[in-house]
Structures are given as structure tokens and as C-alpha cells.
Amino acid sequence: MAPFQACVRTPFGTVGISATDTHVTGIRYLSPDVPALAPKRGTVAFLACVQLQSYLDNPGFVFDLPMKLTGTRHQLSVWEAMCAIPAGETRTYGELAKSIGSSARAVGGACGANPLPIVVPCHRVVGANGSLGGFMGARQEGFELSIKRWLLAHEGARRG
């Protein structure tokens, strides 16, 4: 099976989508030079592409995809809490941790392990001091944090 069933060009790079016949299983941010790959019509990957385009057109769009999230009980609780953060809003790692009885560092680890970014909006979790925090394992300026910055700006989110 190919690593991606679809690759979508976006303003911030290419998004790779992995899916089975029944669920979206992975989303990856790829370099802007990765070419687009159209999904087969009528597939879950096709539905994911349609919904991703809807989000790009309307930052308030709410994803409704069949997802297969595999992780620890803690990761699943963090991902569920992230899905409750509305578009245009952010929470700090500490605020999210407090809401689920965890620690900010553990929340950061779960954010980094998120297999479905954008759909499970880890970009809405930021540092307590108004910083972006980490993203895709990066804490310094570069490709990764530019994606997080774009997504937050697209949603009109204020930080700090």
C-alpha cells in the first residue's frame, strides 16, 4: 500500500493523507515541492481532501471524518480535548493539561504524537508565555513553525 492515498497542495505546503477503506489513519505535512496526488473518487481519502479544502476555504469548518486514532489512554484524552478547542481560539499546554488532570510536558508529548494534525488541531495549543510552543518536534523557526503560524492566522487566533 502506498504511504499516501492523497497529497493536497495547500498555501503552507503539501498535506499527505493516509487512509484505509473506512478511516483516515494519518495526515503529514510535507515539503511544498511534493506533488499533488489525487485520491480515488468515493474513498475516505477523497472525503478527507474535500473536507480539507472546505477548511482552507472556511477556517470555521468542522471536520467530520471517520478517523482511526491509535494511542495511549493519555494521548487519546489530549486529542479529544484538542478537538474541543474552537477554531480561532488557543489553549496553553498548561491549560489543556489542567483540564484533563495531566502535566504540560505530557500534553506536549501527546501533541507531538498526533497522527491527524489539522483534523485534531494541535496547532491550537501554544506556550504559556505567548510563544507558539513546539510543532512537529520543532521549537525553533523553520518550516514546521511556519505551518503552525499560518494555521493560527488562517483561523484568526490570537496568542498571548
What are residue 26's DSSP bridge partners?
18
One-letter-per-residue 3-state SS of the chain: CCCCCEEEEECCEEEEEEECCCCEEEEEEECCCCCCECCCCCCHHHHHHHHHHHHHHCCCCCCCCCECCCCCHHHHHHHHHHHCCCCCCCEEHHHHHHHHCCCHHHHHHHHHCCCCCCCCCHHHEECCCCCCCCECCECCCCHHHHHHHHHHHHHCCCCC
Distance CA 50, CA 48 (A): 5
The answer to whether 7 is a known catalytic residue is no
Q: Catalytic pick from 7, 49, 111, 122?
A: 122
Give the catalytic positions in this structure.
122
